[in-house]
Structure 1
Amino acid sequence: MKNKVIYLAILAAGFASCEPEFENELSNGNYSAGDADFSSYVAIGNSLTSGYMDGTVSRVSQSYSFPSILANQFALVGGGAFTQPSYAEDTNNLGGISGIPGFGTRLVIDASAGGPEPIAGTSTITLTPQASAFNNMGVPGAKTFHLLAQGYGNPAGLAQNPPMANPYYVRMATSTTSTVLGDAMMKNPTFFTNWIGNNDVLGYATSGGSGSTAGLGGADITPVPVFEQSYNMIINTLTSNGAKGVVATIPNVTAIPFFTTVPYNPLTAAAIGGGNEANGTALINQLNTSLIGPVKQVLTAYGQGSRLQLLSATEANPLLIKDESLANMQAQLTGALTQAGVPAQQAAVIGIVFGQARHATAQDLVLLSTRTVIGTAPTSPYAVDPLNKYGVTYPLDDQHILTAAEVSDVNTATTAFNNIIKAAADAKGLGVVDMNAIMNQLVSGLRVEDGSIYTANYFSTATLSTVMFSLDGVHPNARGYALIANEVIKVINSHYNAKLPLVSAGSYPGATVLPTN
C-alpha cells in the first residue's frame, strides 16, 4: 500500500504577493520608499538569508527566501533587479549538492512512519562556479568571520581537513580569492539586510556542545572579540558608500524546534517495552532491581544519588545521558559493585558506562536528530545486554544532548553577540529587527496582522497551516520566511519613514501531500 509523504511549504514555484486587509490599508497611490533607496538591495547572511529549507537549498525553496520576498515589495517603490544564485539545474527540486557528503536531498515526512527522511533521488546540483556577484549573498553555514575570508569559495579548500571552503559559496564566488562581503559590494548596495551570526553559536548547539566555547571550528562558539571585530567590519563596509539597512539579532536556541521538539522524558512503559506496556513494565521492574537501583545506591553513598531516579511504570521517565561536567564515579561504582557480589568484569563495564551518567532534567535540551537514536544499540564495546539501549540503559552521548550548562554557554554568547549587533546598528543609525524576541513569541504563539497565530511547533497534522518551521527544525518554511519579511518591512517603515505593504503569510504554501517517497 502506498504511504503518503507530507512535506512543508516548498512545492509551489512562484507566488503572488497578497496584502492582508487592514484599517488604513496602503494602496498603490501612497506606497513610498521614505528615506531609503532600494535601487540596489543586497542581502548578507547565512542559510536563513539564502532560502534554506528542509535541510537544504532547493530550486523552489530559494524562491521563498525572505530577501526575495522583500525585493518584490521594494519593486513597488523603485527597487531594482534582484538576483540570486541559479538553481535551474535542480530540475526535480531535490536540493542537496551532488558528490558532497553531508549535503543530501531535502527532507520529507512519511505520514505513516513519522519521518523526516531525505526525499528519494540524487541531487543534480553541481559545484560549477557561476562566478557572479548576486544581490542575495546568503551563504549557508557561514559565520561572521567567513564573510571576510579569502578563499572561502575556492574549490581546492573543500579537500582540506578541516575544509577551508564552503560548497555553497564555491558555486557563487566571483573568483577563488574573493570574499562574500567583497562580492556583495560589487553590487554597490544602496540598501542592505544583514542577518549573520546565528552559526557563531548554532554550530556548537546543534553538535550538543561538543565543540569549544571559544574557537573557530564549525562546532565552536566564536570568541566574542572575533565576532565583534568581524561584525563591525561588515557593517562599516556595507555602509561605506552611504547605504542604509536593517540588521537582525540572533534567536535563542530555546525558541527553535530543533531543541524543543523531543522531550527530556519520553520513556513510557510502552516505549521501553517496544510498544507493549506490559513488557515495558516488566523490564522497568527488572532494571530497577538489577541495574538502576544498585547503581543509585552506590552513588547515594557518595552523595551523588540525585544523578539517577528509579524508573516508573506509570509516568514518563527521563532519558539517561552522559554529562562530562560531572565527577567520574567509575572507580567507586566498580569497586562497590564488585564488593556487593557483581562479577568483576560486569562491575567494571557498569562503572565505565555510568561513571558520568545521570537522568536528564527539563533544563536539558534533546536534539531533534537524537529522536531516531533513542532506544537503539550504541556502537561501543561496552554496549552489552542490558546496557545496549541508548537513553534507557546506556547514556546518550555529548552530541545527542545540550545540557543545562551548555545551554547557559549558548545563552551567554547569544546575549553578547546581540549586544554587539545592536551597538553596531546604533552607531550607524540602522534599523534592528529583534528576531530573538520575535522567535521567543512563537513559543506561545505569534499573532499576525490577519489574525492568524503562528507557532514554533515542529510538525503536527493539527497545526500544519500555522507552523513556520521546516522539517530541519531550524529554518523557516515559506510562510515562516514571509513572516520574517514582514518583520523587516515593519522596521523599514518605522525607521526609514517608508510605506511598504506587508505580504500575507497565509498566501504562501503550507503542507502538501505527495505519493510514497
Structure 2
Amino acid sequence: MNIKYIYLFVLILGFFACDEDDNILPEEVILPELTAGSADFSNYVALGASFTSGFTDGGLFIASQENSFPNILSKEFSKVGGGAFTQPLMSDNTGGILVAGSVVSGYRLTFNSDIPGPQSLDAFLTELGAPVPSITTEAGISIGSDFNNFGIPGAKSWHLITPGYASLNPYYARIASAPTATVLADAIAQNPTFFTLSEVGGNDVLGYATSGGDGSNPITDSATFNDALDALITGLTSGGAKGVVTNVPYITDLPHFTTVPHNPIPLDAATAEFLNSAAAYGAYNAGIQGAFAFLVANTPLTQELADIEIAKRTITFEASENNAVVILDESLTDLTGLNEDLVSMRQATAEDLFVLPSSAFIGTEGALGVNGVAVPLADKWVLTPEEQEEIKEATDSYNTAIAAIANTNDAIALVDLNAILSEAASTGIDFDGFNLNADLVTGGAIGLDGIHLTARGYALMANKFLEAIDAAFGSNFIESGNIAKANDYLTNYSPTLQ
C-alpha cells in the first residue's frame, strides 16, 4: 500500500513540475487569404463528357449534377470573383432520359445489402413494394443553350466538334443552340474566362472496352483524336481564357472491368467428370490434339509450338468453386483450318477482364446449355490481353498529345487523372481520413456502374483541379483551405431521392 501511494505522489510532483510552456495550447492556425493568381474565374465554362456532367451510378440526375466536379469547383471560384455557374439540370432524380416519350437510358443504379449487387432503381423499388417515380426528362424538349456546364455523357473527342451531334446524343439535344451546332461552339459562345476540359479521349476507348472489344464500337485513331484535341484547345483559348485539361485514365483499372472473376463457376465432382468426358469437352480436347499432331507431322510446325497452342485451347474442369469460364478468343491463331469457333475456344485466365454486366449472364441457362460452361462467352463479355493492350496503346497516344499541349501552352494546366485513378485502384487515396479506392460499392471513389465517380470521388477530383490551378496560375486554394471536404459529399445516393 505504501508503494502505491509513493508512486502516486511522484506522479503528482511530475505533473506540477512540467514546464509551463507544455500546458499552453497551440495557437489557432491562421490561413492566408485566398487569391486568384493570374486566373480570371468570372465566367467558368466546363467542357467534357460524363465525368464533367456529374454522371454516376449509370445515370444523370439532379443530385448527381449538383455534385459534379465543375459545380464543386465553381463554389470555390465564387470566393475569388467567380460568377454564377448554371447547369442543364435533368427534370428528376431517376437517372433516365426519354426521346419522343420512349426510354433511351433507364433508371440509375442503387444498392441495398439485402439484394446482391447494384440494381436498377425501378427494379429495386418494385421489389420493396414502393412506388416507382416516372422518368420525366425529355431529350426532345430544348431548355436553351446558355449554360456553364457542357458535359455530354457518351461524347467522344471528335463528337464535341461534329456539327449535328445533337441528333445522335439525347443529352446534347436538350441544350444544342441549333440542329447543326457543335458542343465546342456552344461552349465558346458563353465567352469563358476560364475553362476545364476533362476526360476527352475517355469515351474514345471506353466504348470499345465496354463492348468487350468486339468491334461494334472501335477505338478512335490517334490522328482523329489529335485533330479534335487541337480544335478544342484552340477554340477554348481563342478569347484569352486559361484552363485545365485532364489526361485519360487506364480505364481497365476501373471496377467495371476488375470486379467479375475469371473463375466463378462452382462444380461438383459428377458435373466436372461429365464435362471432361468424351461426350463433352473430352472429344473437343482430343480433336485439338489430333489436329496439331497432323500439323506437326505434315507442316513446319514444331512440337514445341504445337504444345503451346494445345495448352491454350485445352478445356478441363474439376470439383471446385472456382472453375474458369470458357470464352471465344479471336486472337488465337488458327493453325488448323478447323471451324473458327472451335479453334478460338479456351478457358479464361486471370489476365482476362470481364465487363460488369457479365456477372448477370455467366452461369445462366441458355438454349444450348449453361453460358460460360457448355456455351462459350462471346467476345462482348471479355477483354483479352490483346484487346487490353490496344486500349493501353491508344490511351498512351492520347496522353502524349495532351501532355504536349499542356507543356507548351502557359494558359493550360494539366491534371493527371490517369495517375489519380491508378492510385485509387492500387492503394487507395486518403481524403480527409477516408481511404477512397476502386472497389465496387465499398470503395467510395467509383459509383455503382463501376466507371463513374461518386459524389465524394468528384469532390476529390475537384481538389486535384485546384492543386493544378494553384501550381500553374499562382492561386492558393489549397494553402488557404478553400477546398472540398470529404464529409460534405456522400458515396451513395438514396433510392428515395425526389
1:94 and 2:94 aligned: yes
1:172 counterpart SS class: coil
1:284 aligned residue? 272
Larger Rg: 2
| Counterpart Cα distance in 2 of 1:497 and 1:146 | 33
Paired residue secondary structure (2:231): helix
- Counterpart of 2:421 in structure 1 is 439
Say whether the 8 Å CA contact 2:265–2:363 is kept in structure 1: no
CA contact (8 A) 1:353 1:394 kept: no
Amino acid at match of 2:286: Q
Aligned to 1:376: 364
Paired with 2:88 and 2:266, the residues of 1 have a C-alpha distance of 48
The 1-side partners of 2:393 and 2:40 are apart by 36
List gaps (5 residues or longer) in structure 1.
1-22, 158-164, 213-218, 270-279, 333-350
**Distance (Å, rounded) in 1 between the aligned partners of 2:374 and 2:60:** 38
Q: 2-side partners of 1:142 and 1:293: how far apart?
A: 47
Contact kept? 1:297, 1:305, Cα under 8 Å: no
Deviation at 1:511, TM superposition (A): 3.5
1:210-269 CA-to-partner distances (Å, cap 9, x unmatched) read 227xxxxxx111111110011011001111111111100111022111101101111233
Gap change, CA 1:25 and 1:53, over 3 Å in 2: farther
Q: Map residues 293-304 of structure 1 onto 2, 5 A cutoff.
A: 293-301=282-290, 302=292, 303=306, 304=309
Matches of 1:257 and 1:182, distance apart in 2 = 34
Partner of 1:20: none
Contact 1:26-1:499 within 8 A present in 2 as well: no
Work out which of the residue numbers 421, 446, 464 in structure 2 matches 1:487.
464
Q: What are the within-5 Å matches in structure 2 for residues 64-463 of structure 1?
A: 64-87=67-90, 89-90=91-92, 93-98=93-98, 99-120=101-122, 121=132, 122-127=134-139, 128-153=141-166, 157=167, 165-195=168-198, 196-211=200-215, 219-269=217-267, 280-289=268-277, 290-301=279-290, 302=292, 303=306, 304-306=309-311, 307-314=313-320, 316-328=322-334, 332=338, 354-378=342-366, 383-384=367-368, 388-429=369-410, 430-459=412-441, 463=442
Residue identity in the other structure for 2:116? G
Cα pair distance change 1:418/1:25, threshold 3 Å: farther
For 1:510 and 1:230, locate their aligned partners in 2 and report how far apart those are by CA, in whole Å: 34
Distance 1:282 1:330, change over 3 A: farther
CA distance in 1, matches of 2:365, 2:452: 30
Shift of 1:315: 5.6
One-letter amino acid matched to 1:245: G
Give the partner amino acid of 1:94. T
Partner Cα distance (2:495, 2:188) in 1: 42
- 1:273 alignment partner in structure 2: none
Structure 2: runs of 5+ lacking an equivalent: 1-26, 123-131, 293-305
Structure 1: how far apart are the matches of 2:314 and 2:208?
27
User: Aligned pair in 2 of structure 1 residues 506, 390: CA closer, same or farther (>3 Å)?
Assistant: same
TM-score, structure 1 length as denominator?
0.80
- Tell me the number of residue pairs that the alignment of Structure 1 and Structure 2 aligns: 433
Q: Distance in 2 between matches of 1:204 and 1:39?
A: 38
Deviations 1:66-100 (A, max 9, x none): 0000000111111111010032x31xx11211234
Q: Secondary structure at the match of 2:490?
A: coil
- SS of the aligned residue for 2:322 comes to coil
Distance 1:437 1:24 in 2: 35
Identical aligned residues as a percent: 41
Verify: 1:507 aligned to 2:488, yes or no.
yes
Give the Cα–Cα distance (whole angstroms) in 1 for the partners of residues 493 and 219 of structure 2: 37
The residue aligned with 1:12 is: none
Contact 1:144 1:227 in 2 (8 A): yes
Offset of residue 294 of structure 1? 2.8
Amino acid at match of 1:203: G
